[in-house]
Chains A and B, each alone.
Chain A
């Protein structure tokens, strides 16, 4: 866990006081909505269909148990008893009252949580791998660098009024769990030939109405130079990024229009002017941040404890273990992913009771730490293997042991038209129906790894462009219509999906997905050939033919 210092605590508390005053002035009429809007957005407060929505940051996806309990408290006291974990390591509350928001923020501030820069045209929550610090083989804990960037960019005046929102994600593993290629800046921690730590820097990724996969702008930036390099990118963006057209304001459009070579030259010119300035990071600064990330006092444990050996006889436990338990960098420990995708449930939602109970389990089994992943699931990062059977039983009682991680029912979905003022079509009911259609875990396992992503509008909060199967809801003649794409992915080989044909109606979406899956099962050469392998081998045509043959 990262330990906040007095500066952090003061900053968060001062922000609460400031926002309390702003809300008071808004409710009295001293501030108009036009004046207030930018202020509420800077504190994560949107207006949605039914109410205000409050988005809280979970920096680099790491939560302590007292923080998760505070989120449960907010859900219970100020909202309707649940929260929604998003694709950017945030949590959203859907029914918050403006008049009560300062109190909710104050309650969260007591445990070091805030909502700064979770909306608005500024630097958003810096996200990272939910397995950071525990994944075997990573270069080093990417949260150290995430925290450095968080500190540097929080309330930074130069980044507070950007042309548009700006998102950074960091990974330190070969397998990208942070989806860095669909971020404005993606950072991959690497070592150079001298063994020095630095970053491959990617720029210009993003989804929305004009999706782009990020391009590498520099193959190696030394760690000590990363702030100046990011600042150089942002300065070029601030200077040239469009402010006249919201749809063309993201950095991805600038990179695309200038071309990566010209954009790189502009950044390089800017960087050379500032790289040897105070932005160059002293080793002591990094060491100070590193020292604030504490790791649990791991025990020396056997690779295969008796408890695990005995539990293996239970097929239900084994199904969950094989699906939801991943190797840990320390022998005898595991990383446990907790699916927030129960059959028939809204993806990413957790009740206050679940959050509280999960906090108790994290205290008991994971050294008091929880992680949040961009796939809208949670994780316990430090579980002793001997405790896996007991943990599984406890999770199962809470409805949190669905063994569907990375399977077809592990669906990413935006709130859609049920909640969102921007949406044109519903997302959650589509996801719910699909989880019911593929509720049979044997079938889901037979299908294997397959990610379905659903967005309720072109803004693509459900990352439909990079779903193996992507579903985009649009409105046509007053009806919800869904466009289907195939072949997208958000990992280290990120790609945008291909539209397979005309949109289909709400009631047909699950049937179409079934058709695609049946086609895949018939077309694959062997059980080990994953859906994406088949798509890569054959293209989308066979799927298109199957879907539209009878439609």
Chain B
């Protein structure tokens, strides 16, 4: 997998966020405007052009202790400002597996 630091040409087609996994426990987190991480997608900082995306990603990469594997992911932003994942992968990362987990079935 390409390191985000090597993603020199960053193109985004719409509103995007930076997501990663929290270092100590691995859970999905989103980069916030307050230069931190949140497990809540609604708190994610939204970027809308390549320069913003690159800056947010660089900031996320710099926080190597907080979270690992940061990358830019697409989102949809509703008229009410609600943020939703922009693809199935991110939907699954946000809401969990699409199947019942054996211990819960």
Asked whether any CB of chain B lies closer than 8 Å to the CB of A349, the reply is yes
Give the contacting residue for A26; candidates B23, B28, B102, B105; CB below 8 A. Answer: B23
Asked whether any CB of chain B lies closer than 8 Å to the CB of A352, the reply is yes
Q: Which residues of B contact A301 (CB under 8 A)?
A: none
> Nearest chain A CB to B59's CB is how many angstroms away?
16
Q: Which residues of B contact A47 (CB under 8 A)?
A: 21, 26, 68-69
Spot the interface stretch: A155-163, A193-201, A234-242, A426-434: A426-434
Give the contacting residue for A351; candidates B65, B92, B103; CB below 8 A. Answer: B103
Q: Which residues of A contact B93 (CB under 8 A)?
A: 49-50
Give the contacting residue for B64; candidates A32, A97, A478; CB below 8 A. Answer: A32
Q: Which residues of B contact A28 (CB under 8 A)?
A: 65
From known contacts A47-B21, A50-B26, A478-B87, infer whether A80 and B101 are also in contact, taking CB-CB under 8 Å: yes
Q: Which residues of B contact A32 (CB under 8 A)?
A: 64
The residue on B at minimum CB distance from A480 is: B88
Q: Which residues of B contact A33 (CB under 8 A)?
A: 23, 64, 68-69
The answer to whether A99 and B97 have CB atoms under 8 Å apart is no
Binary A-proximity of B94-105 (CB < 8 A = 1, otherwise 0)? 001111011101
Q: Which residues of A contact B97 (CB under 8 A)?
A: 50, 418-419, 428
Which residues of chain B in 9-62 are interfacial with respect to chain A, using CB atoms and an 8 Å cutoff?
21, 23-28
Q: Which residues of A contact B23 (CB under 8 A)?
A: 26-27, 33, 98
Q: Which residues of B contact A52 (CB under 8 A)?
A: 21, 25-26
Which residues of chain A in 9-29 are interfacial with respect to chain B, using CB atoms and an 8 Å cutoff?
26-29
Asked whether any CB of chain B lies closer than 8 Å to the CB of A51, the reply is yes
The answer to whether A98 and B102 have CB atoms under 8 Å apart is no
The answer to whether A417 and B92 have CB atoms under 8 Å apart is yes
The residue on A at minimum CB distance from B28 is: A50
Give the contacting residue for A98; candidates B24, B28, B69, B89; CB below 8 A. Answer: B24
Asked whether any CB of chain B lies closer than 8 Å to the CB of A82, the reply is yes
A side interface size, CB within 8 A: 37
The answer to whether A428 and B99 have CB atoms under 8 Å apart is yes
User: CA of A193 to CA of B28 in the docked complex: distance in angstroms?
Assistant: 60
The answer to whether A417 and B24 have CB atoms under 8 Å apart is no
The residue on B at minimum CB distance from A48 is: B26
User: CA of A33 to CA of B99 in the docked complex: distance in angstroms?
Assistant: 31
The answer to whether B26 and A96 have CB atoms under 8 Å apart is yes
User: CA of A429 to CA of B88 in the docked complex: distance in angstroms?
Assistant: 14
The answer to whether A98 and B25 have CB atoms under 8 Å apart is yes
The answer to whether B103 and A81 have CB atoms under 8 Å apart is yes
From known contacts A80-B101, A81-B103, A418-B97, infer whether A49 and B64 are also in contact, taking CB-CB under 8 Å: no
Q: Which residues of A contact B99 (CB under 8 A)?
A: 346, 418, 428-429, 432
The answer to whether B88 and A349 have CB atoms under 8 Å apart is no
Which of B26, B64, B65, B96: most chain A CB closer than 10 A?
Answer: B26
Q: Which residues of A contact B69 (CB under 8 A)?
A: 33, 47
Q: Which residues of B contact A345 (CB under 8 A)?
A: 102, 105
Q: Which residues of A contact B1 (CB under 8 A)?
A: 421-422
From known contacts A345-B105, A418-B97, A432-B99, infer whether A97 and B24 are also in contact, taking CB-CB under 8 Å: yes
Asked whether any CB of chain B lies closer than 8 Å to the CB of A388, the reply is no
User: CA of A112 to CA of B87 in the docked complex: distance in angstroms?
Assistant: 42
The answer to whether A51 and B102 have CB atoms under 8 Å apart is no
B residues in contact (CB < 8 Å) with A: 1, 21, 23-28, 64-65, 68-69, 87-89, 92-93, 96-99, 101-103, 105
In the complex, besides A97-B26, A480-B88, 9 extra interface pairs with C-beta distance below 8 angstroms are A26-B23, A29-B65, A47-B68, A49-B28, A50-B93, A52-B25, A346-B99, A418-B99, A419-B97
A residues in contact (CB < 8 Å) with B: 26-29, 32-33, 47-52, 80-82, 95-99, 345-346, 349-352, 417-419, 421-422, 426, 428-429, 432, 478, 480
| CB pairs A–B below 8 angstroms (12 shown) | A29-B64, A29-B65, A33-B69, A47-B69, A49-B28, A50-B93, A50-B97, A80-B101, A98-B23, A98-B24, A345-B105, A421-B1
